[in-house]
Amino acid sequence: MVKIVIGSGPAGAACAHALVSRGAQVLMLDGGIELEPDRARIVRELGAIPYSEWKPSQIAAVRDDAMADARGIPLKKSFGSDFPYRETEEKIPWRSAGAALLPSLALGGLSNVWGAALLPYRDEDMAGWPIKNAELAPHYQAVAQMTGVAARRDDLEEFFPLHCADPSPLKSSRQAELLLKNLERRREVLRSAGWHFGQSRLAVRAADASQGRGCVYCAQCMTGCAYGCIYNSADTVRELQRKENFRYERDVIVTKIRENGATVLVEGFHRQTRAPLSFEGERVYLAAGVIPTAQILLRSQNAYDRPLRLLDSQYFLFPILLARRTRNVRSEALHTLSQVFMELNSPRVSARTVHLQVYTYSDIIGQAVRQSLGPMKLFGRAIEERLVIVQGYLHSDDSSAIEMQLKRDGARDFLLLEPRIRPETRRTVKRVISEVLKQFRSLGGLAVPPMLQIASPGRGFHCGGSIPMRSHPGEFESDCLGRPAGWSRVHIVDASILPSIPATTITFSSMANAHRIGSETA
C-alpha cells in the first residue's frame, strides 16, 4: 500500500527520496503553489541564455522592489514574488501576536527563499537528543548528494564534517578573500579564544554539471537563480516524478489524519475549489512545516487550547566595517549568498556553539547603506566598499521561543503564535558582539554595535522542537521515528521533532533526520 508524504519542502523531499529509493510506493500531497506564469516565463528565458545577454528589462521584471535600510533586510521574495508565503492565512488559518515565523504552501516550501547554508550539528549541541551524529552521518551524506555542496576543505572540518567526498568550492568575493586572509593571519589567536572559521558551505552547483550550468557569479542570488544553481526541494520532487513509484498531488490542503487499524486516513480539501478530499495509506509522513504540522496534529486530536512550545534559534544582524577598502564592489562578479562561516565556542558566551554567517557586498547592502546615510550619501561608496553584514544564530537553549495553540473562532479554528521572550537572550547576543569587538585586529575591522538588530522569535526561520523526539515519549512528544505518543503509523519528519535547535543551519540536519526516518521505515 502507498506511503503518504505531506509537504514538498526539504524534509518532505528528503523523506520521499529515501522511501522511493527503497522501493516504496509514495504519494506526496502538497499545496503546490508556484511562481506566476509570466514571471516563470521570463526566468526560463534568462536560464536559456548566457548571463552576458540578459537585458535590464528582463532582470527588472523578476527583481524585488522592497528596499533594505538601517532597520534591516526585508522578507525575501523569489523572483520578485511572494508566492512562497501566499494563501496561508486563508487556507491554513494562523495568527501571530508578535512572532515572525511564516508557513508555506508552495512547491518546495521555504527552500524557494532560503540562504542555502549547510552545516551539520555537533553532538555537543545535541544534548538530550535520543540519536547522535553517528546515526545521522549516512543521511547527511545522502542529503549532500541531493543538494550538492559548494565548500572548501578548511578548519571547519575539525568540528563539522563535509559529508561529501569531492566538494566544489565557489569563488570567494574580494571582500571575503580579504576577511579570510585577515583571519588566517591570526588563526592561533582566534582558536585560543574559541573561534573557528572557513569558507561558507552552500547548497549551490558551483560548476557545470549534467543537471545544468554552474554558478556564473551574476550577483542575483537574493532575487533567485535563473540557472537553478541554488538547491530547491522542488527540484527533487520533479526528479522523483520521473519514478514509477512516486506520485505528486498538488492543490491539497490537509486538515486531519486518523489511524484506522492497518491504514491511515488523510482528510482535507482542494486548495482552489475547497471540495473535500480524502486519501488512505499504509503510513503518513508529516513534513508540512512546523506551523501546519502542529495544526494537523492538534486538530486530529481535538486538542484545542493545548500549548505547544516551538523552539527558536535566535537570529540577529550586525555590520562590520573593514579597515581596508575593496574598490569597485558594485561591478564585481560574485555570488551574494553567505561567503564566510565563523563559529564561536566560548563558555564566556554560551555553553553551545554560536554560528555567524558573513555576507559581503550585494545590492541589498548597497541599498541599506544609501538609505541609511541620508544627507551623507556622498560617503556611501566608501562605506559599502568596507562593509560586510553578519547574520548570527544562537542555540535554542539561549533563545526565546514561540507558544502555539489551536484556537476556535466560531465555525473555524486557527493556530495562534505568541512569542515567549527570554530576557537572557539579548544579553547573550551582546556577549557575542563583545567577543567580535575583541577580535578587531583578527577581523581587520570593527563591529558596529549601534546597528545591531535582534529579530523577533521566528524571523530566522530556524524553528522546531514542538513535538520533540524522546527515548520514552510522553504526551505531544515523539519517538526516534517521529511517531507522536499514541500513534503507530504517523511519522512527523520535519523540524517539529528536533529536540533542540542548534545554531548551525537547520535545513541540512532536518533533511538528514527526515531521510533517516524514511530509510528506517521504508
Per-residue pLDDT band for 65 (boundaries 50, 70, 90) equals low
- Three-state secondary structure string covering 230-271: ECCHHHHHHHHCCCCCEEEECCEEEEEEEEECCEEEEEEEEC
Per-residue pLDDT band for 70 (boundaries 50, 70, 90) equals low
DSSP at 131: S
Render pLDDT for 73-126 as a digit per residue (tens, 0 to 9). Answer: 678 999 999 999 999 999 999 999 999 999 999 999 999 999 999 999 999 999
Per-residue pLDDT band for 369 (boundaries 50, 70, 90) equals confident
DSSP at 105: -
Give the C-alpha separation, 205 to 227, whole Å: 10
Residue with cell 551582546: 430
Mean pLDDT for 275-283 is 98
Give the C-alpha separation, 295 to 496, whole Å: 12
Q: Which CATH architecture has domain 1-33+86-147+231-311+401-421+460-522?
A: 3-Layer(bba) Sandwich (3.50)
State the cell numbers at 276: 473535500
pLDDT at residue number 153? 95
Give the residue with greater pLDDT, 461 vs 74: 461
Query: Sign (positive/negative) of CA torsion 392, 396, 402, 405?
Result: positive
Render pLDDT for 217-267 as a digit per residue (tens, 0 to 9). Answer: 999 999 999 999 999 999 999 999 999 999 999 999 999 999 999 999 999
Give the C-alpha separation, 292 to 310, whole Å: 13
Least confident segment among 150-159, 372-381, 432-441, 491-500: 372-381
Render pLDDT for 425-458 as a digit per residue (tens, 0 to 9). Answer: 999 999 999 999 999 999 999 999 999 999 999 9
Per-residue pLDDT band for 411 (boundaries 50, 70, 90) equals confident
- How high is the mean pLDDT of the chain? 95
Mean pLDDT for 452-474 is 97
pLDDT at 71 over 60: no
Give the C-alpha separation, 269 to 175, whole Å: 50
pLDDT at residue number 69? 53
Give the C-alpha separation, 174 to 165, whole Å: 27
Per-residue pLDDT band for 375 (boundaries 50, 70, 90) equals low
pLDDT at 486 over 60: yes
| Domain definitions of the chain by residue range | 1-33+86-147+231-311+401-421+460-522, 149-225+315-393+422-456
Helices (H), strands (E): how many in the chain? 14, 20
Q: Taking the mean position of all CA atoms in its chain, how far away is CA 212?
A: 23
Q: How far is CA 185 from CA 131, 245, 444, 496, in A?
A: 38, 54, 10, 41
pLDDT at residue number 238? 98
Give the C-alpha separation, 10 to 287, whole Å: 9
The amino acid sitting at 172 is S
pLDDT at residue number 126? 97
Render pLDDT for 148-189 as a digit per residue (tens, 0 to 9). Answer: 999 999 999 999 999 998 899 999 999 999 999 999 999 999
Sequence-separated (6 or more) residues with CB below 8 Å from residue 301: none
Query: Sign (positive/negative) of CA torsion 443, 449, 450, 451?
Result: positive
pLDDT at residue number 382? 84
pLDDT at residue number 166? 85
Q: What is the pTM of this model?
A: 0.96
Render pLDDT for 342-368 as a digit per residue (tens, 0 to 9). Answer: 999 999 999 999 999 999 999 888 877
Render pLDDT for 15-63 as a digit per residue (tens, 0 to 9). Answer: 999 999 999 999 999 999 999 999 999 999 999 999 999 999 999 999 8
